[in-house]
């Protein structure tokens, strides 16, 4: 039960991070003065 | 460019749990970096502004930059920590300066402010968009799309600055408008070659002083 909840939470967090990553790669740069390297999987 | 340690660690934890391949882990690490670097910069800027007593002016500065920068691009630091430090110093200082200069600017009327907005608009119009190695243009149409968006965003920001001045020149409007114009001028600076050199030098200096 605990293990399944952990996996479910990890999946939820991963989903949020993927959405943030996709939002981050849309504009030319994010708001701040640091731009992380665009991941290969998100290079269109 | 290697990922920040915290981001790689979180991505590995999630990746192990969910059985993800390295490419998907890298996307998660990138998401963490985007979140952490932007929140750290924003937090540093607002904390500095709160200490200097110029939160509304800092917010006006950040709004002007935040409207234009996603489409115009510009110079960057090479680490999230140095970015947060640079933002936490420059934004409150320029916002405070806007607040200090506002009573004198009111005496000069709106023309110096309009000239500053016009100068920033011309630079942004000519130079934007400026991509970085970390986020290059993807496809030929993207450069044109960002150019259009940067020009529209800069024009909207300039009109907003002048409107704020017009609405309340004797009160807080002057300092807010000056801070917004300072944001536009700062964005214009970091699009230019001297701006890239300046940010690069500050970045290297901070790296020398504080380490990686």
Helix, coil or strand: residue A34: strand
**ipTM score of the complex?**
0.92
CB contact under 8 A, B31 and A21: yes
Return d(Cα B39, Cα A31) in angstroms, integer: 10
Distance from CA of B127 to the nearest CA of A (A): 14
Predicted local distance difference test score (pLDDT) of residue B28: 95
Which chain A residue lies closest to B35 (C-alpha atoms)?
A: A20
Cβ atoms of B32 and B73 within 8 Å: the answer is: no
Give me the residue from A6, A18, A34 closest to B77, CB to CB. A34
| CB contact at 8 A, B38 and B113 | no
Cβ <8 Å between B40 and A32: yes
Closest CA relative to residue B189, chosen from B199, B180, B178? B199
Of B73, B90, B70, B63, give the one whose Cα is nearest residue B157: B63
Region B90-102 average pLDDT: 95
The answer on pLDDT for B42 being more than 60 is yes
- Which residues of A lie closer than 8 Å to B, measured between beta carbons? 6-7, 10-11, 13-14, 16-21, 23-25, 27-44
**pLDDT band with cut points at 50, 70 and 90 for residue B81:** confident
Q: Given this model, what pLDDT does residue B44 score?
A: 93
Confidence at residue B139, expressed as pLDDT on a 0 to 100 scale: 81
CB contact under 8 A, A31 and B74: no
Q: Are B38 and B7 in contact (CB under 8 A)?
A: no
Mean pLDDT of B4-29: 93
Nearest CA in chain B to A42: B27
- Read off the pLDDT of each residue in B60-70 and give the average, rounded to a whole number: 95
pLDDT, residue A35, reads 85
pLDDT given at position B1:
55
Identify the top-confidence range among B38-47, B107-116, B152-161.
B152-161
Cβ atoms of A38 and A25 within 8 Å: the answer is yes
Comparing C-alpha atoms, which of B192, B142, B121 is closest to residue A28? B142
Average pLDDT of the residues of chain B: 93
C-alpha torsion A34→A35→A36→A42, nearest 10: 160
Q: For A17, which of B3, B31, B136 is closest by C-beta distance?
A: B31
Write out chain A's pLDDT in tens, 44 residues: 777 888 999 999 999 999 999 998 888 887 777 888 999 998 87
Mutate to test the interface with B, among A18, A31, A44 (most CBs of B within 10 A): A31
pLDDT given for residue B116 in this prediction? 96
Q: Residue B134 is nearest to which of A7, A18, A35, comparing CB atoms?
A: A35
């Amino acid at each position: 039960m605990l293990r399944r909840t952990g996996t479910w939470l990890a999946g939820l967090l991963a989903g949020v991070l993927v959405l943030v990553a996709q939002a981050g790669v849309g504009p030319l740069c994010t708001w701040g003065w640091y731009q992380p390297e665009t991941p290969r999987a998100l290079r269109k | 460019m290697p990922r920040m340690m915290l981001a790689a660690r979180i991505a590995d934890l999630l990746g192990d749990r969910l059985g993800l391949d390295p490419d998907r882990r890298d996307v998660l690490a990138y998401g963490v970096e985007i979140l952490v670097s932007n929140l750290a910069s924003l937090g540093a800027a607002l904390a500095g502004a709160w200490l200097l007593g110029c939160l509304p002016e800092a917010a006006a500065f950040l709004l002007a930059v935040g409207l234009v920068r996603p489409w115009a691009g510009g110079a960057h630091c090479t680490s999230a920590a140095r970015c947060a430090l640079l933002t936490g110093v420059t934004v409150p200082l320029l916002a405070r300066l806007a607040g200090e200069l506002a009573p004198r600017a009111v005496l000069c009327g709106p023309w110096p402010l309009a000239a500053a907005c016009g100068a920033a608009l011309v630079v942004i119009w000519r130079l934007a968009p400026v991509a970085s190695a970390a986020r290059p243009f993807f496809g030929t149409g993207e450069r044109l799309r960002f150019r259009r968006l940067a020009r529209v965003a800069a024009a909207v920001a300039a009109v907003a600055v002048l409107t704020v001045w017009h609405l309340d020149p004797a009160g807080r409007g002057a300092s807010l408008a000056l801070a917004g114009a300072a944001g536009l001028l700062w964005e214009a600076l970091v699009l230019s070659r001297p701006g890239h050199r300046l940010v690069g030098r500050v970045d290297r200096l901070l790296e020398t002083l504080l380490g990686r």
